[in-house]
Structure 1
Amino acid sequence: MGSAASRPERLTASVLARWPLPELAEDADKEVRGHVLIIAGSEEIPGAALLSAVAALRAGAGKLTIAAPASIAKGLAFAVPEARVIALPEARGGLLVRGRQALASTAASVSALVIGPGMQREGAVVRFVEAVIPMFRHATLVLDALAMSVVRGAALEQPAVLTPHAGEMAYLSGLSKEAVCEDPVGAAREAAALWNACVALKGGSTIIAAAEGGLWQFDGGTNGLATSGSGDTLAGLIGGLAARGLPPVAACAWGVVAHANAGAALSRSHGPLGYLARELPGEFPASLHSLSKGRPSR
Protein backbone atom coordinates (compact mmCIF):
# COMPACT_ATOMS: atom_id res chain seq x y z
CA MET A 1 0.00 0.00 0.00
CA GLY A 2 2.72 2.49 0.93
CA SER A 3 5.66 3.87 -1.05
CA ALA A 4 8.79 5.90 -0.43
CA ALA A 5 7.13 8.78 -2.24
CA SER A 6 4.42 8.99 0.40
CA ARG A 7 6.45 8.97 3.59
CA PRO A 8 4.71 10.95 6.32
CA GLU A 9 6.12 14.13 7.79
CA ARG A 10 7.07 13.95 11.46
CA LEU A 11 4.47 15.72 13.56
CA THR A 12 6.24 18.19 15.86
CA ALA A 13 5.48 21.45 17.63
CA SER A 14 6.95 23.33 14.67
CA VAL A 15 4.47 21.61 12.36
CA LEU A 16 1.60 22.55 14.66
CA ALA A 17 2.76 26.17 14.43
CA ARG A 18 1.52 26.15 10.82
CA TRP A 19 -1.99 25.78 12.26
CA PRO A 20 -2.00 28.19 15.23
CA LEU A 21 -4.76 27.97 17.78
CA PRO A 22 -7.42 30.63 17.18
CA GLU A 23 -6.59 33.87 18.94
CA LEU A 24 -9.09 35.39 21.35
CA ALA A 25 -9.75 39.03 22.08
CA GLU A 26 -9.69 40.06 25.73
CA ASP A 27 -13.44 40.58 25.68
CA ALA A 28 -14.25 37.36 23.78
CA ASP A 29 -17.18 35.42 25.23
CA LYS A 30 -17.93 31.70 25.19
CA GLU A 31 -19.79 31.93 21.89
CA VAL A 32 -16.52 32.75 20.13
CA ARG A 33 -14.95 29.49 21.33
CA GLY A 34 -17.61 27.36 19.71
CA HIS A 35 -20.30 24.90 20.67
CA VAL A 36 -19.55 21.18 20.77
CA LEU A 37 -22.21 18.48 20.84
CA ILE A 38 -21.22 15.09 22.27
CA ILE A 39 -23.50 12.16 21.39
CA ALA A 40 -22.15 9.26 23.35
CA GLY A 41 -22.57 6.63 26.01
CA SER A 42 -24.84 3.69 26.74
CA GLU A 43 -26.31 2.08 29.82
CA GLU A 44 -23.26 -0.19 30.14
CA ILE A 45 -20.67 2.45 29.20
CA PRO A 46 -21.92 5.79 30.54
CA GLY A 47 -18.45 7.01 31.41
CA ALA A 48 -17.42 7.39 27.76
CA ALA A 49 -19.77 10.34 27.40
CA LEU A 50 -18.38 11.91 30.55
CA LEU A 51 -14.76 11.50 29.42
CA SER A 52 -15.39 12.95 25.97
CA ALA A 53 -17.43 15.84 27.30
CA VAL A 54 -14.91 16.96 29.90
CA ALA A 55 -12.12 16.65 27.34
CA ALA A 56 -13.99 18.96 24.95
CA LEU A 57 -14.30 21.62 27.64
CA ARG A 58 -10.66 21.23 28.62
CA ALA A 59 -9.78 21.81 24.96
CA GLY A 60 -11.29 25.27 25.35
CA ALA A 61 -14.71 24.87 23.73
CA GLY A 62 -17.06 27.59 24.93
CA LYS A 63 -20.34 25.64 25.09
CA LEU A 64 -21.10 21.97 25.60
CA THR A 65 -24.20 19.90 24.97
CA ILE A 66 -24.30 16.19 25.75
CA ALA A 67 -26.92 13.97 24.12
CA ALA A 68 -27.09 10.53 25.69
CA PRO A 69 -29.50 7.65 26.25
CA ALA A 70 -32.27 8.56 28.68
CA SER A 71 -31.08 5.87 31.10
CA ILE A 72 -27.84 7.76 31.79
CA ALA A 73 -28.72 11.37 30.95
CA LYS A 74 -29.64 12.49 34.46
CA GLY A 75 -26.42 11.12 35.91
CA LEU A 76 -24.39 12.95 33.27
CA ALA A 77 -26.22 16.19 34.05
CA PHE A 78 -25.00 15.99 37.64
CA ALA A 79 -21.51 14.79 36.65
CA VAL A 80 -20.98 17.62 34.13
CA PRO A 81 -22.85 20.64 35.50
CA GLU A 82 -21.32 22.84 32.81
CA ALA A 83 -23.30 21.04 30.09
CA ARG A 84 -26.78 21.06 28.71
CA VAL A 85 -27.89 17.41 28.66
CA ILE A 86 -30.46 15.99 26.24
CA ALA A 87 -32.03 12.62 26.99
CA LEU A 88 -32.44 10.45 23.88
CA PRO A 89 -34.98 7.63 23.51
CA GLU A 90 -33.52 4.12 23.46
CA ALA A 91 -34.63 0.53 23.10
CA ARG A 92 -32.72 -2.68 23.82
CA GLY A 93 -29.52 -0.76 24.42
CA GLY A 94 -29.56 1.29 21.20
CA LEU A 95 -30.62 4.84 20.34
CA LEU A 96 -33.81 5.29 18.33
CA VAL A 97 -33.69 7.34 15.14
CA ARG A 98 -36.66 9.44 16.27
CA GLY A 99 -34.35 10.89 18.91
CA ARG A 100 -32.89 13.15 16.23
CA GLN A 101 -35.88 15.43 16.78
CA ALA A 102 -34.56 16.31 20.23
CA LEU A 103 -31.36 17.62 18.63
CA ALA A 104 -33.03 20.04 16.22
CA SER A 105 -32.73 23.00 18.59
CA THR A 106 -28.94 22.65 18.66
CA ALA A 107 -28.35 22.19 14.93
CA ALA A 108 -27.79 25.82 14.00
CA SER A 109 -25.31 26.59 16.76
CA VAL A 110 -23.14 23.46 16.93
CA SER A 111 -19.68 23.89 15.37
CA ALA A 112 -18.35 20.40 16.15
CA LEU A 113 -20.14 17.09 16.64
CA VAL A 114 -18.48 14.16 18.43
CA ILE A 115 -20.42 10.96 18.08
CA GLY A 116 -19.75 7.36 19.04
CA PRO A 117 -17.81 6.99 22.31
CA GLY A 118 -19.34 4.25 24.42
CA MET A 119 -22.31 3.63 22.13
CA GLN A 120 -23.46 0.03 21.65
CA ARG A 121 -25.34 -2.10 19.09
CA GLU A 122 -23.68 -1.35 15.77
CA GLY A 123 -26.78 -1.54 13.61
CA ALA A 124 -28.68 0.93 15.78
CA VAL A 125 -25.64 3.22 15.98
CA VAL A 126 -25.21 3.34 12.20
CA ARG A 127 -28.89 4.06 11.60
CA PHE A 128 -28.81 6.84 14.18
CA VAL A 129 -25.60 8.38 12.82
CA GLU A 130 -26.90 8.31 9.25
CA ALA A 131 -30.05 10.09 10.39
CA VAL A 132 -28.31 12.71 12.51
CA ILE A 133 -25.24 13.92 10.63
CA PRO A 134 -27.18 15.62 7.79
CA MET A 135 -28.57 17.98 10.45
CA PHE A 136 -25.02 19.15 11.18
CA ARG A 137 -23.47 19.46 7.70
CA HIS A 138 -21.91 22.80 8.62
CA ALA A 139 -20.13 21.29 11.66
CA THR A 140 -16.89 19.33 11.88
CA LEU A 141 -17.73 15.69 12.56
CA VAL A 142 -15.60 13.52 14.86
CA LEU A 143 -16.52 9.83 14.61
CA ASP A 144 -15.29 7.32 17.18
CA ALA A 145 -15.95 3.68 18.07
CA LEU A 146 -19.05 2.11 16.46
CA ALA A 147 -20.09 5.41 14.85
CA MET A 148 -17.16 4.98 12.45
CA SER A 149 -19.00 2.06 10.87
CA VAL A 150 -21.06 4.57 8.89
CA VAL A 151 -18.14 4.83 6.42
CA ARG A 152 -18.55 1.18 5.43
CA GLY A 153 -21.53 2.27 3.38
CA ALA A 154 -20.48 5.56 1.80
CA ALA A 155 -17.94 8.38 1.89
CA LEU A 156 -18.64 11.31 4.18
CA GLU A 157 -19.95 14.58 2.76
CA GLN A 158 -18.75 17.02 5.42
CA PRO A 159 -15.47 17.85 7.20
CA ALA A 160 -14.73 14.84 9.39
CA VAL A 161 -12.15 13.10 11.57
CA LEU A 162 -12.08 9.36 12.34
CA THR A 163 -9.90 7.89 15.09
CA PRO A 164 -9.55 4.11 14.61
CA HIS A 165 -6.96 1.83 16.20
CA ALA A 166 -5.52 -1.00 14.09
CA GLY A 167 -8.32 -3.46 14.87
CA GLU A 168 -11.02 -0.94 14.02
CA MET A 169 -9.20 0.06 10.83
CA ALA A 170 -9.07 -3.59 9.78
CA TYR A 171 -12.80 -3.97 10.32
CA LEU A 172 -13.70 -0.73 8.55
CA SER A 173 -11.41 -1.25 5.57
CA GLY A 174 -11.76 -4.99 5.10
CA LEU A 175 -8.03 -5.52 5.53
CA SER A 176 -6.55 -7.94 8.02
CA LYS A 177 -5.17 -6.44 11.22
CA GLU A 178 -1.77 -7.82 10.22
CA ALA A 179 -1.91 -5.90 6.93
CA VAL A 180 -2.83 -2.69 8.74
CA CYS A 181 0.03 -3.10 11.21
CA GLU A 182 2.47 -3.95 8.42
CA ASP A 183 1.67 -0.78 6.47
CA PRO A 184 -0.19 1.70 8.67
CA VAL A 185 0.75 4.62 6.44
CA GLY A 186 -0.78 3.01 3.38
CA ALA A 187 -3.87 1.92 5.29
CA ALA A 188 -4.48 5.40 6.68
CA ARG A 189 -3.81 7.13 3.36
CA GLU A 190 -6.17 4.90 1.39
CA ALA A 191 -8.89 5.11 4.06
CA ALA A 192 -8.72 8.91 4.17
CA ALA A 193 -9.15 9.13 0.40
CA LEU A 194 -11.95 6.54 0.32
CA TRP A 195 -13.89 8.00 3.22
CA ASN A 196 -13.20 11.67 2.35
CA ALA A 197 -12.04 12.32 5.91
CA CYS A 198 -9.04 12.98 8.09
CA VAL A 199 -8.00 9.66 9.62
CA ALA A 200 -5.89 9.25 12.76
CA LEU A 201 -4.74 5.63 12.88
CA LYS A 202 -3.83 5.23 16.54
CA GLY A 203 -0.97 3.06 17.76
CA GLY A 204 2.59 3.13 19.06
CA SER A 205 3.07 5.56 16.17
CA THR A 206 -0.04 7.48 15.17
CA ILE A 207 -0.52 8.18 11.47
CA ILE A 208 -2.67 11.12 10.43
CA ALA A 209 -3.85 11.14 6.81
CA ALA A 210 -5.81 13.92 5.14
CA ALA A 211 -8.37 13.22 2.44
CA GLU A 212 -6.35 15.48 0.10
CA GLY A 213 -3.23 13.37 0.61
CA GLY A 214 -1.22 14.96 3.46
CA LEU A 215 0.49 12.51 5.82
CA TRP A 216 1.97 12.97 9.29
CA GLN A 217 3.45 10.58 11.84
CA PHE A 218 3.63 11.10 15.59
CA ASP A 219 5.91 8.90 17.67
CA GLY A 220 5.63 10.63 21.03
CA GLY A 221 2.97 8.50 22.71
CA THR A 222 3.50 6.52 25.90
CA ASN A 223 2.41 3.01 26.93
CA GLY A 224 0.24 4.41 29.67
CA LEU A 225 -2.10 5.98 27.11
CA ALA A 226 -3.23 2.49 26.14
CA THR A 227 -5.84 2.45 28.88
CA SER A 228 -9.62 2.18 29.00
CA GLY A 229 -11.29 5.47 28.06
CA SER A 230 -8.19 7.11 26.60
CA GLY A 231 -9.67 7.14 23.09
CA ASP A 232 -12.84 8.78 24.40
CA THR A 233 -10.79 11.67 25.76
CA LEU A 234 -8.95 12.04 22.44
CA ALA A 235 -12.23 12.22 20.50
CA GLY A 236 -13.55 14.90 22.86
CA LEU A 237 -10.29 16.84 22.69
CA ILE A 238 -10.33 16.88 18.89
CA GLY A 239 -13.98 17.92 18.94
CA GLY A 240 -13.29 20.76 21.34
CA LEU A 241 -10.44 22.05 19.18
CA ALA A 242 -12.61 21.83 16.07
CA ALA A 243 -15.35 23.77 17.87
CA ARG A 244 -12.80 26.53 18.52
CA GLY A 245 -12.29 26.88 14.77
CA LEU A 246 -9.43 24.57 13.78
CA PRO A 247 -10.01 22.67 10.52
CA PRO A 248 -10.19 18.86 10.80
CA VAL A 249 -6.52 18.03 10.08
CA ALA A 250 -5.28 20.75 12.43
CA ALA A 251 -7.70 19.78 15.22
CA CYS A 252 -6.66 16.15 14.82
CA ALA A 253 -2.93 16.95 14.86
CA TRP A 254 -3.16 19.25 17.88
CA GLY A 255 -5.34 16.71 19.65
CA VAL A 256 -2.98 13.79 19.06
CA VAL A 257 0.08 15.69 20.30
CA ALA A 258 -1.66 17.36 23.26
CA HIS A 259 -3.16 14.01 24.29
CA ALA A 260 0.29 12.38 24.22
CA ASN A 261 1.85 15.24 26.17
CA ALA A 262 -0.86 14.92 28.81
CA GLY A 263 0.05 11.25 29.14
CA ALA A 264 3.73 12.17 29.44
CA ALA A 265 2.93 14.64 32.22
CA LEU A 266 0.99 11.98 34.13
CA SER A 267 3.82 9.50 33.58
CA ARG A 268 6.18 11.86 35.31
CA SER A 269 3.90 12.41 38.27
CA HIS A 270 2.36 8.92 38.60
CA GLY A 271 4.74 6.57 36.85
CA PRO A 272 4.51 5.15 33.32
CA LEU A 273 1.48 2.92 33.97
CA GLY A 274 -1.62 3.18 36.12
CA TYR A 275 -2.81 6.71 35.52
CA LEU A 276 -6.46 6.92 34.44
CA ALA A 277 -8.17 8.29 31.37
CA ARG A 278 -10.24 10.56 33.61
CA GLU A 279 -6.99 12.27 34.67
CA LEU A 280 -5.93 13.15 31.13
CA PRO A 281 -8.30 16.10 30.49
CA GLY A 282 -6.93 17.96 33.51
CA GLU A 283 -3.58 18.08 31.70
CA PHE A 284 -4.94 19.30 28.37
CA PRO A 285 -4.95 23.08 29.03
CA ALA A 286 -1.29 23.11 30.10
CA SER A 287 -0.35 20.81 27.23
CA LEU A 288 -2.07 23.02 24.66
CA HIS A 289 -0.53 26.15 26.17
CA SER A 290 2.97 24.66 26.03
CA LEU A 291 2.51 23.57 22.44
CA SER A 292 1.23 27.01 21.47
CA LYS A 293 4.49 28.43 22.83
CA GLY A 294 6.50 25.97 20.74
CA ARG A 295 7.43 23.66 23.61
CA PRO A 296 6.83 19.90 23.29
CA SER A 297 5.39 19.50 26.81
CA ARG A 298 5.35 21.13 30.19
Structure 2
Amino acid sequence: MPNRSDTRVITPGLLRDWALPVPTGGKDNRGTVLVIGGSRFTPGAVLLAGVAALRAGAGVLQLAAAESTAAALSIQVPEAMVVGLPETDDGAVAGDPGDRLGDLVAQADVVAVGPGLNDIDQTRALLRLVLSAAGPRTALVFDAYALGALSHEPDLLVGADRRVVLTPNLTEARHLLGRDPGDDLDADSRELARRYEAVVSLYGHIATPDGQGWREESGDAGLGTSGSGDVRAGLLAGLLSRGAEPAQAACWAAWVHAVSGQRLVPRFGRIGFLARELLDEIPHTIATV
Protein backbone atom coordinates (compact mmCIF):
# COMPACT_ATOMS: atom_id res chain seq x y z
CA MET A 1 0.00 0.00 0.00
CA PRO A 2 1.35 3.47 -0.80
CA ASN A 3 2.56 5.34 2.26
CA ARG A 4 4.42 8.45 1.07
CA SER A 5 2.93 11.82 1.98
CA ASP A 6 3.25 13.34 -1.51
CA THR A 7 0.45 13.14 -4.05
CA ARG A 8 0.76 10.19 -6.41
CA VAL A 9 -0.79 9.89 -9.84
CA ILE A 10 -3.14 6.91 -10.11
CA THR A 11 -1.92 4.60 -12.88
CA PRO A 12 -2.68 0.99 -13.80
CA GLY A 13 0.71 0.08 -12.33
CA LEU A 14 -0.13 1.68 -8.99
CA LEU A 15 -3.48 -0.14 -8.96
CA ARG A 16 -1.89 -3.50 -9.86
CA ASP A 17 0.39 -3.09 -6.86
CA TRP A 18 -2.69 -2.29 -4.75
CA ALA A 19 -4.85 -5.12 -6.04
CA LEU A 20 -8.50 -5.34 -5.09
CA PRO A 21 -9.63 -8.22 -2.87
CA VAL A 22 -11.16 -11.07 -4.84
CA PRO A 23 -13.79 -12.68 -2.58
CA THR A 24 -14.48 -16.38 -2.92
CA GLY A 25 -17.65 -18.28 -2.19
CA GLY A 26 -21.20 -16.99 -2.46
CA LYS A 27 -22.75 -13.55 -2.67
CA ASP A 28 -22.57 -12.99 1.08
CA ASN A 29 -18.77 -13.01 0.85
CA ARG A 30 -19.00 -10.05 -1.56
CA GLY A 31 -20.93 -8.00 0.95
CA THR A 32 -24.21 -6.14 1.15
CA VAL A 33 -24.56 -2.57 -0.13
CA LEU A 34 -27.48 -0.44 1.03
CA VAL A 35 -28.14 2.73 -0.99
CA ILE A 36 -30.34 5.33 0.74
CA GLY A 37 -31.69 8.13 -1.44
CA GLY A 38 -34.14 8.80 -4.22
CA SER A 39 -36.84 11.41 -3.71
CA ARG A 40 -40.16 11.12 -5.55
CA PHE A 41 -38.67 13.04 -8.46
CA THR A 42 -35.13 11.58 -8.56
CA PRO A 43 -35.36 7.78 -8.24
CA GLY A 44 -32.88 7.28 -11.06
CA ALA A 45 -29.98 8.36 -8.85
CA VAL A 46 -30.53 5.34 -6.59
CA LEU A 47 -30.81 3.06 -9.60
CA LEU A 48 -27.50 4.29 -11.05
CA ALA A 49 -25.66 4.00 -7.74
CA GLY A 50 -27.07 0.57 -7.00
CA VAL A 51 -26.30 -0.98 -10.37
CA ALA A 52 -22.79 0.51 -10.25
CA ALA A 53 -22.25 -1.22 -6.89
CA LEU A 54 -23.24 -4.55 -8.41
CA ARG A 55 -21.04 -3.99 -11.45
CA ALA A 56 -18.11 -3.29 -9.12
CA GLY A 57 -18.57 -6.61 -7.35
CA ALA A 58 -21.08 -6.22 -4.52
CA GLY A 59 -22.88 -9.45 -3.70
CA VAL A 60 -26.21 -8.16 -2.35
CA LEU A 61 -27.90 -4.87 -3.19
CA GLN A 62 -30.60 -3.11 -1.20
CA LEU A 63 -32.23 0.16 -2.23
CA ALA A 64 -34.13 2.40 0.18
CA ALA A 65 -35.95 5.23 -1.55
CA ALA A 66 -39.15 7.27 -1.44
CA GLU A 67 -42.09 4.87 -1.19
CA SER A 68 -43.80 6.27 -4.29
CA THR A 69 -40.84 5.05 -6.38
CA ALA A 70 -40.27 1.64 -4.80
CA ALA A 71 -42.39 -0.44 -7.20
CA ALA A 72 -40.79 1.08 -10.28
CA LEU A 73 -37.29 0.62 -8.84
CA SER A 74 -37.95 -3.02 -8.00
CA ILE A 75 -38.89 -3.65 -11.63
CA GLN A 76 -35.97 -1.68 -13.04
CA VAL A 77 -33.44 -3.36 -10.71
CA PRO A 78 -34.76 -6.89 -10.18
CA GLU A 79 -31.46 -7.89 -8.59
CA ALA A 80 -32.14 -5.62 -5.59
CA MET A 81 -34.37 -5.69 -2.57
CA VAL A 82 -36.22 -2.36 -2.60
CA VAL A 83 -37.69 -0.71 0.49
CA GLY A 84 -40.03 2.25 0.29
CA LEU A 85 -39.41 5.01 2.82
CA PRO A 86 -41.97 7.53 4.10
CA GLU A 87 -42.08 10.83 2.19
CA THR A 88 -42.72 14.41 3.06
CA ASP A 89 -45.45 16.32 1.25
CA ASP A 90 -42.79 17.54 -1.18
CA GLY A 91 -41.68 14.01 -2.05
CA ALA A 92 -38.46 14.02 -0.03
CA VAL A 93 -37.43 10.97 1.98
CA ALA A 94 -38.53 11.58 5.57
CA GLY A 95 -35.76 11.89 8.13
CA ASP A 96 -37.54 9.59 10.60
CA PRO A 97 -38.32 6.58 8.40
CA GLY A 98 -38.88 4.05 11.21
CA ASP A 99 -37.08 1.05 12.59
CA ARG A 100 -36.87 -0.95 9.37
CA LEU A 101 -34.23 1.32 7.84
CA GLY A 102 -32.19 1.16 11.02
CA ASP A 103 -32.27 -2.63 10.87
CA LEU A 104 -31.10 -2.60 7.25
CA VAL A 105 -28.24 -0.23 8.11
CA ALA A 106 -27.18 -2.47 10.99
CA GLN A 107 -26.98 -5.50 8.70
CA ALA A 108 -25.25 -3.86 5.73
CA ASP A 109 -21.53 -3.96 5.04
CA VAL A 110 -21.62 -0.66 3.13
CA VAL A 111 -24.17 2.15 3.33
CA ALA A 112 -24.22 4.86 0.64
CA VAL A 113 -26.31 7.91 1.54
CA GLY A 114 -27.25 10.77 -0.70
CA PRO A 115 -28.02 9.90 -4.33
CA GLY A 116 -31.31 11.56 -5.21
CA LEU A 117 -32.04 13.07 -1.79
CA ASN A 118 -33.33 16.65 -1.94
CA ASP A 119 -33.96 18.02 1.55
CA ILE A 120 -31.07 19.10 3.77
CA ASP A 121 -32.93 18.93 7.09
CA GLN A 122 -34.42 15.49 6.40
CA THR A 123 -31.02 14.28 5.23
CA ARG A 124 -29.38 15.50 8.46
CA ALA A 125 -31.80 13.29 10.38
CA LEU A 126 -31.02 10.36 8.07
CA LEU A 127 -27.27 10.78 8.67
CA ARG A 128 -27.79 10.66 12.41
CA LEU A 129 -29.88 7.50 12.04
CA VAL A 130 -27.23 5.85 9.87
CA LEU A 131 -24.39 6.67 12.24
CA SER A 132 -26.43 5.44 15.20
CA ALA A 133 -27.41 2.14 13.58
CA ALA A 134 -24.24 1.25 11.66
CA GLY A 135 -21.73 -1.15 13.15
CA PRO A 136 -18.20 0.08 13.90
CA ARG A 137 -16.76 -1.56 10.77
CA THR A 138 -19.58 -0.61 8.42
CA ALA A 139 -18.19 1.42 5.52
CA LEU A 140 -20.08 4.61 4.68
CA VAL A 141 -20.21 6.66 1.48
CA PHE A 142 -21.65 10.18 1.72
CA ASP A 143 -22.63 11.79 -1.58
CA ALA A 144 -24.75 14.66 -2.89
CA TYR A 145 -27.21 16.00 -0.30
CA ALA A 146 -25.55 13.95 2.43
CA LEU A 147 -22.51 16.20 1.97
CA GLY A 148 -24.63 19.32 2.21
CA ALA A 149 -26.15 17.97 5.42
CA LEU A 150 -22.69 17.15 6.77
CA SER A 151 -21.57 20.73 6.16
CA HIS A 152 -24.30 21.81 8.60
CA GLU A 153 -22.98 19.35 11.22
CA PRO A 154 -19.21 19.44 10.65
CA ASP A 155 -18.40 17.57 13.85
CA LEU A 156 -20.67 14.64 13.08
CA LEU A 157 -17.77 12.33 12.14
CA VAL A 158 -15.08 13.82 14.36
CA GLY A 159 -13.82 11.28 16.87
CA ALA A 160 -16.14 8.58 15.54
CA ASP A 161 -13.34 6.47 13.99
CA ARG A 162 -15.58 5.51 11.07
CA ARG A 163 -14.69 4.06 7.68
CA VAL A 164 -16.16 6.93 5.65
CA VAL A 165 -15.57 8.23 2.13
CA LEU A 166 -16.88 11.64 1.06
CA THR A 167 -17.38 12.23 -2.68
CA PRO A 168 -17.96 15.97 -3.18
CA ASN A 169 -18.15 17.79 -6.46
CA LEU A 170 -16.83 21.36 -6.53
CA THR A 171 -20.13 22.86 -5.34
CA GLU A 172 -20.39 20.42 -2.45
CA ALA A 173 -16.74 21.02 -1.62
CA ARG A 174 -17.51 24.74 -1.29
CA HIS A 175 -20.14 23.98 1.34
CA LEU A 176 -17.83 21.61 3.20
CA LEU A 177 -14.87 24.01 3.11
CA GLY A 178 -16.88 27.13 3.83
CA ARG A 179 -15.16 28.80 0.85
CA ASP A 180 -14.61 28.27 -2.85
CA PRO A 181 -12.11 25.53 -3.69
CA GLY A 182 -8.83 26.95 -4.92
CA ASP A 183 -6.52 25.97 -7.74
CA ASP A 184 -4.84 23.29 -5.60
CA LEU A 185 -7.45 20.55 -5.25
CA ASP A 186 -4.83 18.23 -3.75
CA ALA A 187 -4.53 20.63 -0.83
CA ASP A 188 -8.30 21.14 -0.60
CA SER A 189 -8.96 17.40 -0.51
CA ARG A 190 -6.39 17.01 2.28
CA GLU A 191 -7.98 19.86 4.22
CA LEU A 192 -11.40 18.22 3.94
CA ALA A 193 -10.03 14.82 4.94
CA ARG A 194 -8.44 16.29 8.08
CA ARG A 195 -11.45 18.41 8.97
CA TYR A 196 -14.05 15.65 8.60
CA GLU A 197 -11.82 12.68 9.53
CA ALA A 198 -12.75 10.79 6.39
CA VAL A 199 -11.25 9.76 3.09
CA VAL A 200 -12.17 12.38 0.47
CA SER A 201 -12.51 11.95 -3.28
CA LEU A 202 -12.78 15.43 -4.76
CA TYR A 203 -12.90 15.67 -8.53
CA GLY A 204 -10.30 12.91 -8.87
CA HIS A 205 -8.19 14.11 -5.93
CA ILE A 206 -8.14 11.58 -3.10
CA ALA A 207 -6.87 12.26 0.42
CA THR A 208 -6.80 10.57 3.80
CA PRO A 209 -6.96 12.22 7.23
CA ASP A 210 -3.29 11.42 7.83
CA GLY A 211 -2.19 13.38 4.76
CA GLN A 212 -1.78 10.76 2.05
CA GLY A 213 -2.88 11.88 -1.41
CA TRP A 214 -3.50 10.54 -4.91
CA ARG A 215 -4.64 12.17 -8.14
CA GLU A 216 -6.54 10.70 -11.10
CA GLU A 217 -5.62 12.41 -14.39
CA SER A 218 -7.65 10.45 -16.97
CA GLY A 219 -11.02 12.10 -16.43
CA ASP A 220 -12.49 14.15 -19.27
CA ALA A 221 -15.39 16.54 -19.84
CA GLY A 222 -17.82 13.74 -20.65
CA LEU A 223 -17.97 12.69 -17.01
CA GLY A 224 -19.64 16.01 -16.23
CA THR A 225 -23.07 14.64 -17.09
CA SER A 226 -26.24 14.12 -15.08
CA GLY A 227 -26.01 10.97 -12.93
CA SER A 228 -22.26 10.49 -13.34
CA GLY A 229 -21.61 11.24 -9.66
CA ASP A 230 -24.23 8.68 -8.63
CA VAL A 231 -22.40 6.06 -10.68
CA ARG A 232 -19.10 6.95 -9.01
CA ALA A 233 -20.62 6.76 -5.51
CA GLY A 234 -22.12 3.34 -6.22
CA LEU A 235 -18.91 2.10 -7.81
CA LEU A 236 -17.05 3.12 -4.69
CA ALA A 237 -19.60 1.37 -2.47
CA GLY A 238 -19.27 -1.83 -4.49
CA LEU A 239 -15.48 -1.85 -4.15
CA LEU A 240 -15.77 -1.31 -0.39
CA SER A 241 -18.27 -4.17 -0.24
CA ARG A 242 -15.86 -6.66 -1.77
CA GLY A 243 -13.27 -5.79 0.88
CA ALA A 244 -11.26 -2.78 -0.32
CA GLU A 245 -10.10 -0.28 2.28
CA PRO A 246 -11.53 3.26 1.94
CA ALA A 247 -8.50 4.95 0.32
CA GLN A 248 -7.95 1.97 -1.97
CA ALA A 249 -11.61 1.93 -3.02
CA ALA A 250 -11.57 5.70 -3.64
CA CYS A 251 -8.49 5.48 -5.87
CA TRP A 252 -9.80 2.52 -7.84
CA ALA A 253 -13.24 4.12 -8.20
CA ALA A 254 -11.80 7.40 -9.51
CA TRP A 255 -9.71 5.60 -12.11
CA VAL A 256 -12.39 3.12 -13.19
CA HIS A 257 -14.97 5.90 -13.46
CA ALA A 258 -12.66 7.99 -15.64
CA VAL A 259 -11.44 5.17 -17.88
CA SER A 260 -14.97 3.81 -18.33
CA GLY A 261 -15.82 7.21 -19.76
CA GLN A 262 -12.81 7.08 -22.06
CA ARG A 263 -13.99 3.73 -23.39
CA LEU A 264 -17.28 5.33 -24.48
CA VAL A 265 -15.68 8.18 -26.45
CA PRO A 266 -15.21 6.27 -29.74
CA ARG A 267 -18.95 5.52 -29.86
CA PHE A 268 -20.46 8.72 -28.45
CA GLY A 269 -17.79 11.42 -28.57
CA ARG A 270 -16.26 13.22 -25.62
CA ILE A 271 -19.51 14.68 -24.30
CA GLY A 272 -22.22 12.51 -25.83
CA PHE A 273 -22.45 9.50 -23.52
CA LEU A 274 -24.93 9.04 -20.67
CA ALA A 275 -24.23 8.10 -17.07
CA ARG A 276 -26.13 4.83 -17.48
CA GLU A 277 -23.74 3.84 -20.27
CA LEU A 278 -20.83 3.94 -17.83
CA LEU A 279 -22.36 1.03 -15.90
CA ASP A 280 -21.66 -1.69 -18.44
CA GLU A 281 -18.06 -0.53 -18.84
CA ILE A 282 -17.19 -0.92 -15.16
CA PRO A 283 -16.46 -4.69 -14.99
CA HIS A 284 -14.33 -4.69 -18.12
CA THR A 285 -12.39 -1.63 -17.00
CA ILE A 286 -11.62 -3.25 -13.65
CA ALA A 287 -10.59 -6.47 -15.37
CA THR A 288 -8.13 -4.72 -17.69
CA VAL A 289 -5.92 -3.35 -14.88
Spell out the pairing of 1:137-148 with structure 2 (5 A cutoff). 137=135, 138-148=137-147
TM-score by length of 2: 0.92
SS of match in other structure, 1:182: coil
| Partners of 2:146 and 2:105 in 1: CA distance | 19
Equivalent residues of 1:39, 1:115 under 8 A apart = yes
Equivalent residues of 1:100, 1:131 under 8 A apart = no
1:79 paired with 2:80, answer no
1:271 paired with 2:275, answer no
Who is 2:104 aligned against? 106
Spell out the pairing of 1:118-137 with structure 2 (5 A cutoff). 118-137=116-135
Aligned counterpart for 1:175 among listed residues 170, 179, 195 = 179
Shift of 1:94: 2.5
User: 1:166-189 CA deviation, whole Å, 9 max, x = no partner?
Assistant: 12101111012xxx1322122111
Question: Residue type of the partner of 1:266?
Answer: L
Who is 1:12 aligned against? 11
Who is 2:252 aligned against? 254
Equivalent residues of 1:88, 1:102 under 8 A apart = no
- The answer to which of 101-110 and 254-263 deviates more is 101-110
Aligned counterpart for 2:215 among listed residues 209, 214, 217 = 217
Equivalent residues of 1:192, 1:198 under 8 A apart = yes
TM-score by length of 1: 0.90
Aligned residues: 279
Shift of 1:110: 1.0
Shift of 1:16: 1.6
User: 1:50-75 CA deviation, whole Å, 9 max, x = no partner?
Assistant: 10011011011000000001111111
Shift of 1:98: 2.8
1:166 paired with 2:138, answer no
SS of match in other structure, 2:51: helix
| Partners of 2:5 and 2:19 in 1: CA distance | 25
SS of match in other structure, 2:112: strand
Who is 1:294 aligned against? none
1:41 paired with 2:38, answer yes
RMSD of aligned alpha carbons: 1.5
Gap regions ≥5 residues in structure 1: 292-298
Equivalent residues of 2:103, 2:133 under 8 A apart = no
| Partners of 2:212 and 2:71 in 1: CA distance | 42
Question: Residue type of the partner of 1:85?
Answer: V
User: 1:182-204 CA deviation, whole Å, 9 max, x = no partner?
Assistant: 221221111101101010111xx
- The answer to which of 265-274 and 275-284 deviates more is 265-274
Question: Residue type of the partner of 2:83?
Answer: I
| Partners of 2:184 and 2:81 in 1: CA distance | 42
Between the aligned residues of both structures, percent identity stands at 38
| Partners of 1:30 and 1:100 in 2: CA distance | 28
Who is 1:234 aligned against? 232
Equivalent residues of 1:144, 1:162 under 8 A apart = yes
Spell out the pairing of 1:40-79 with structure 2 (5 A cutoff). 40-79=37-76
Question: Residue type of the partner of 1:128?
Answer: L
Shift of 1:95: 2.3
Shift of 1:108: 4.2
| Partners of 1:197 and 1:81 in 2: CA distance | 33
